[in-house]
Amino acid sequence: MKLLFIFLDGVGLGEDNPEINPLAGRSMPHLEEILQGHKLIADGNFRGIAEENCLVNTQRASLLAIDACLGIDGLPQSASGQASLLTGKNVSALLGIHEGPKPTPPIIELLKDGTVFTHLQRHGKQASLLNAFPPRYFEAIDTGYRIPGVIALSLRLAGIQLKTLDDLVAGEAISADFTAQGWRKNLGFKDTPILDGIQAGDRIKQLSESTDLAVFEYWLTDIAGHHQNMQAAQSILETLDTVIGSLATWCDDEDKLIMLTSDHGNLEDLSTRHHTRYDVPLLLIGPEELRKRFIQNINQSQGSRLKPDLTDVAPAILNFID
């Protein structure tokens, strides 16, 4: 089985209010086609199918809401949320607080104890982060000036190399904005090949063929939320939708599934620059039988809790791939 994990940083299931929620106001035709007219919002979805925790269940996709608060007061944060996603442990509860954005020493120790990446490596499976990182990123890490985010750090702890500028130029990686426009505009790499959304989706599909778990980290959603920038939010959602439309055909095979989820809310409420306590989406795209299997794994991990949460994702990934 192959799983493509699109991580959307800072995306919750917010209200059906286009004044503050770009996910409610912005048309995402490819996503809405897959979801048969539904959007990534809480309102309305809860009046749909509630079978096996699903808010929406169509021929091609299933949408669940998962708790990012983890029973802890305060606003969820990136480091503890992402660590919970990748370890299957309630990191916020273990620490007694939500922590972020970068992993603190206690979170780093929890990551060293094991993540989905180290588990897959031990069982002869392959995992890869598809994002490319610029030279100055590695320089900052090597000098101790910068701590990697949880996802990148977890890959490094598992002995998996991060992708570089050379990989991006060679077509073996994807930039964080999908298109690589940012590498030219913000980083000064004027010769970086530019992709459109369809081409980016095609490249992700190609790269995902060579690994059991392919991960792409899309953090621009969280940045737009913090900046309370509706225009920027709508623009990145348009690009994301095009990529999703391109990716959807990858799941035509019976052994492939796409999963999109997040670590906390943010983008769905631009009335505040802070994170939110909304549930986050868990969107599955692919064959019905594979989606059912993944959701059953989520439900099994959830146990007696009222709803699934971030800790249920890692066990579901491992059970699916194993």
Predicted local confidence at residue 304, as pLDDT: 87
Structural domains of the chain sorted by starting position, each given as residue range(s) with its CATH number in brackets: 2-321 (3.40.720.10)
Question: Is the per-residue pLDDT at 26 higher than 90?
Answer: no
- pLDDT score, position 67: 96
Residue ranges in 179-283 assigned as alpha helix (H): 181-185, 197-208, 220-227, 230-247
Look at residue 45 and tell me whether its pLDDT is greater than 50.
Answer: no
pLDDT for res 51: 52
Q: Tell me whether the omega of the peptide bond preceding residue 308 falls within 30 degrees of 0, making it cis.
A: no
Instruction: Please count the other Cβ atoms lying within 10 Å of the Cβ belonging to residue 96.
Output: 9
pLDDT tens, position by position, 173-191: 999 999 999 999 999 999 8
How many angstroms separate the CA atoms of 294 and 44, rounded?
24
> Distances from the Cα of 184 to the Cαs of 177, 181, 194, 230, 239, in angstroms?
11, 5, 9, 23, 17
For residue range 53-82, list pLDDT tens digits in order. 688 999 999 999 999 999 999 999 999 999
Q: How far apart are CA 211 and CA 22, in angstroms?
A: 33
Across the range 15-23, mean pLDDT stands at 95
Give the residue carrying structure tokens 């992700």: 204
Per-residue tokens: 261 = 């989820």
Query: How many percent of the chain have pLDDT more than 70?
Result: 97
Residue with tokens 């130029």: 169
Is residue 42's pLDDT more than 90? no
Residue identified by tokens 């989820």 is: 261
What confidence tens digit (pLDDT) does each residue in 90-108 have? Answer: 999 999 999 989 999 999 9
pLDDT of residue 317: 98
User: pLDDT for 161-176, tens place per residue?
Assistant: 999 999 999 999 999 9
> Which amino acid does the sequence have at 55?
L
Count other Cβ atoms within 10 Å, centred on residue 44.
14
Helix axes 105-113, 78-87, angle to 10 degrees: 10
pLDDT digits (tens, 9 = 90+) for 223-234: 999 999 999 999
In angstroms, the CA 119 to CA 89 distance is 14
What are the tokens at 138?
């590695």
Residue 49 pLDDT class (50, 70, 90 cuts): very low
Q: Please provide the distance, in angstroms rounded to a whole number, between the alpha carbons at the two ends of the chain.
A: 8
* Average confidence (pLDDT) over 292-319: 94
Position 127 scores a pLDDT of: 97
Q: Backbone dihedral region of 10: left (phi > 0), alpha (psi from -120 to 50 degrees) or beta?
A: left
Q: What is the mean pLDDT of the chain?
A: 93
**Which tens digits make up the pLDDT trace of 245-287?**
999 988 887 799 999 999 999 999 999 999 999 999 999 999 9
Which residues 6+ apart lie within 8 Å of 133 measured at CB?
152, 162, 163, 164, 165
Name the token pair of 269. 């409420």
Give the single-character DSSP code of 242. Answer: H
